[in-house]
Amino acid sequence: MEPEAMTFVAAKVSLLVLFALVLQQAVLADLRVSGVRPDVMLLVAVAAGMAGRSERGAVVGFVAGLLADLFSPTPLGLAALTFSVVGYVVGSIQTGIIRSVWWIPVLTALVASVVAVVLYALVAAMIGRAQYVNLQLLFTAGGVAVVNAALALPAVRALRWGLGSSEVYAR
């Protein structure tokens, strides 16, 4: 991609990520879905994987995760690591399938979110925060996944706009 087009894509995606951050930290600061706090930054990472290729998914995941870490009392880099891996994996399995059935993005968001939350807790346990892994983890994963699945379609559309829709067909 030419440099000017790259900058334009970066600007659009940055705007989206910033919007998600404001949503997550300010607008939805007190929202709880059956006791679970939604994770819109994860949605951005998963949607980026669906709308772009694996590389775009990894980069956007990293940035979204890093911002999420910055405003969270949890270890810095944990979400950056998890979201970039999840964004990459979603990106590599999604190429080409995305337009076939309308509910594929919803299902992908659901599954990817559960995997991401569990992976997050497992990595945290490996670096000394073993208390993250408990029964509550299942509820957290479920709550986050349901909200992300509900918002999957608009999120993918937004990320497709941000990343440039030609990415969907490129390999």
Which spans of this chain sit near another protein (rule: CB under 8 A)? 22, 25-27, 29-30, 32, 35-37, 39, 53-55, 58-59, 62, 65-66, 69-78, 80-81, 84-85, 88, 91-92, 117, 120-121, 124, 127-129, 131-132, 134, 136, 140, 143-144, 171
Query: Closest separation between CB of residue 54 and another protein, Å?
Result: 4
Q: Between residues 129 and 157, which has the closer beta carbon with respect to another protein?
A: 129
Least distance to another protein, CB of residue 6, Å:
14
- How many CA atoms are closer than 13 Å to the CA of 158, on its beta-carbon side? 18
Token match 């950056």: residue? Answer: 80
Q: Which is nearer to another protein, 107 or 122 (CB)?
A: 122
CA distance 4 to 15: 17
Residue 73 φ then ψ, to 5°: -75, 0
153 contacts 106 by C-beta, under 8 angstroms: yes
Give the chain's count of helices (H) and strands (E). Answer: 7, 0
Question: Which tokens go with 55?
Answer: 């590389």
Q: Which CB, 88 or 109, lies closer to another protein?
A: 88
Please say which residue, 66 or 109, places its beta carbon nearer to another protein. Answer: 66
CB 144 → another protein: shortest distance, Å?
7
How far apart CA 37 and CA 22 sit, in angstroms, is 15
